Amino acid sequence: MTPRIRLLAAADYRQRADNVFLVTASWPVGLPRRSITRAHWLPRLAPAEGLMTWLQRDVGRWPYFCDSYWADLAANPARWQPLLQAAQQYGELVLLHDTSADDPNPAQALAEFLAARLAAQQWQAAGSLRASPVCYAEQFD
């Protein structure tokens, strides 16, 4: 079963669990640090400030933003590997963000990236269940 990835606004966070990660470059304005206990803050996972500024000028750039952000993440697996491990360990991963519902959400892009990585891991793990076309070669000769 693929672990679930949930997105949650940091202001709405109420649970106390080890599978919660705040993925913003800076601490959310107006949110006391004690209000998010046990959540892990990972500012290095946030997209580069320049990339966010570029996206905010035109939200139609979302697909290009995702491509750039995902390329950066793919080149730096040490930044996101702990999230995959947490997702597999707990079966669910909660990503906290500080954007409003109308704003582009980099946590959504990160969730899509991680979901693809988790799916790829599961597909590789199930490799013994897949048959190779070579197995059927005799039937077609």
Enter the pTM of the model.
0.83
Q: Would you write out the chain's pLDDT as a tens digit for each of its 141 residues?
A: 678 999 998 888 877 778 889 998 888 887 787 777 777 889 999 999 999 999 988 989 999 999 999 999 999 999 999 999 999 999 999 999 987 766 778 999 999 999 999 998 888 777 666 566 666 656 665
85: amino acid identity, one letter: Q
- Measured between alpha carbons, how far is residue 63 from residues 1, 38, 55, 60, 111 in Å? 28, 33, 10, 8, 14
The confidence score (pLDDT) of residue 136 equals 60
pLDDT of residue 104: 77
Q: What pLDDT is recorded for position 28?
A: 84
Cα–Cα distance measured from residue 92 to residue 129, given in angstroms and rounded to the nearest whole number: 25
Q: Which residues contact 97 (CB under 8 A, 6 or more apart)?
A: 7, 8, 9, 10, 22, 23, 24, 105, 106, 107, 108
SS3 8: strand
- Spatial distance between the Cα atoms of 101 and 69, rounded to a whole number of angstroms: 20
